[in-house]
Structure 1
Amino acid sequence: MATITEPKLISGNANKQLASAVARRMSMHRGMNLGLVDARVERFNDGEIFVEVFENVRGEDMYVIQPNSNPANDNLMELLIMADALRRSSAARITAVIPYFGYARQDRRTKSRTPISAKLVANMITGAGVERVLTMDLHASQIQGFFDIPVDNLYAAPIFALDIQHHFKKRLENVTIVSPDVGGVGRARELAKRIGSPLAIVDKRREKPGEIAEMTVIGEVKDRTCIVIDDIVDTAGTLCKAAEVIMQAGAKEVHSYITHGVLSGPAIERVTNSVMKSLVITDTIEPTEATRNAKNIRIVPTAPMFAQAILNTWNGTSISSLLHTDTLLPIYEGTYSPI
């Protein structure tokens, strides 16, 4: 008689908190313990990465949970080496769960003699033996086409919509969604449609890279509660400047919902001292202690969505169903009250 095998999870060092949370959620759904596969991911004295898997994975459906966050190169190499170890151990299928896809901002040639690093990373991941990728909010949707394997790109917008409807439910009619640039209008429009709010745009013009010459608000924000939507917050300079411009245009208050909290360099200090009342990020990148302790930064979990997406991939059911509120709300039961 054929045995029914369960999906198996393995994690690198990039975000073990998220990996453990995903394992707990899947254990609850399956009614059995689905802990992380016992393995060690270590470094030799010269920085080389070594992986050893202590459990039998022959014929198993493996899911490697590893965002390519800071340090991006080390975490990427961990992912590649884990995939190689699993492939050489005869795993039946290897899915890379990459909550934050590093190098995604290098998705095209911006000038002569520059690389398309996102494509190079895609080639490396495929070459390591990965057969499917599961990620969230790719910086550019065309990156899915860089892979010659299936790529499922989850979206934080449904989670953000639930969070906004929960925390702003008594003043939702006064909320305006704001895109911090023209390139992010599609993302902002999708969220605005979900919660039935109007849309505004911050148009910015750069004189040279890293410097913002001028910002202008397009749309009505006066006396409105404005929510800025974006996929990545890095040093937070542009975000904090956009919040100032929105407030100068007459907004009542400004909040931000950003999927990937890179938060490098002076970002935490900037956000703490900014006019923003709150910055909401997800845990696709493991939050630092400073991030957790920041007075106006809040973290929403992605483990329920990733756990269900992994289960849907494993049993061959729809991933796109997770984009609907009716499907997502029960997954986040206990986190948000019914809308």
Structure 2
Amino acid sequence: MILRIQTYGRAGLLGNPSDGYYGKTIALALKAFPVTVTIYESPEIHIAPNVEDNSDYPSLEAMVQEIDRFGYYGGIRLVKATCRQFFKHCQEHGIAIPERNFTLRYQSTVPQLVGLGGSSAICTAAFKALLSFYEIKSIPLEIMPTLCWQAEDELGINCGMQDRVIQIYNGLVYMNFEEKFFTAHRHGRYERLDPALLPPLYLAYDPNRAEFSGNYHKKLRVLYDAKKQDLSAAMREFADIAEQGRQALLDRNHALLATLINANFDLRCRVLPVSEMNARMVYQARKSGASAKFTGSGGAIIGTYDSEEMYDNLQRDLEEIGCAVVKVTVATD
């Protein structure tokens, strides 16, 4: 039997980057950007390489250019690390894994390294595929994101929990990573919200601004440790924005939601370094009256718009600076 499992790129709507610092966030899964894992029984374990694992280049210059943009690593190491966490967890909790091997292939449509959760989408899709292939049903849903996060952490990838949560749960999720609860339970409090509560959303990204998000999170951790008092207060403020956003969604207060989206980015600019080219995307979008903030570490933005006329204007303005623009559909399957 051939199994095909999908997860999706994600957008942080509010609260990020406080998820890495016991904060609160709201995120959603992006239907436009699926990652598909295909898994089927085979005599030996085989993880098939994808374009992210490319080792063929037209020239030495082309190889160096790709390394400069995307680093040295592809997706195979992510799959391996996920497999290891899956196996170790089952072993430690007395969960029997049937004795059969598999071939696993992955294919990603998530734009690379622009803050849309491409790496974590590979991990979470692989984890879901292993669950289906081995018919394991005893791992609690809320623990699954933690195991995927541990796989990336093991590889030295600095990241918070948000991406893995939304890519395991799909849909629209409010997340509370309060430290005492998270430390005691190895997961946060995750609340599904109805995507129908959302106003119209757009997403824009520029592939030419690609940067390995782990670098951003590593720099953020160093900065946090150096200025802990100031940034701890900022992370609490990010978390409060997410909490207010949850209530705004429940109240269908779309005007407040737009204000909070803008406030999230403005706070980021006050307390964290933001590159001029990434910030330009936000300001270009705001020219039309739309709200805007980063979806993740930079390179992509998300926001609300009030009308088709506003969408047409922001699309024109963003395309002028090389961005692709799409209307957001939330993946709920």
Give the structure, 1 or 2, with the largest relative contact order (CA under 8 Å, sep 6 or more): 2
Same fold (TM over 0.5): no
Structure number with the higher helix fraction is: 2
How high is the TM-score relative to the length of structure 2?
Answer: 0.25
TM-score normalised by the chain length of structure 1 = 0.25
Structure with the higher strand share, 1 or 2: 1
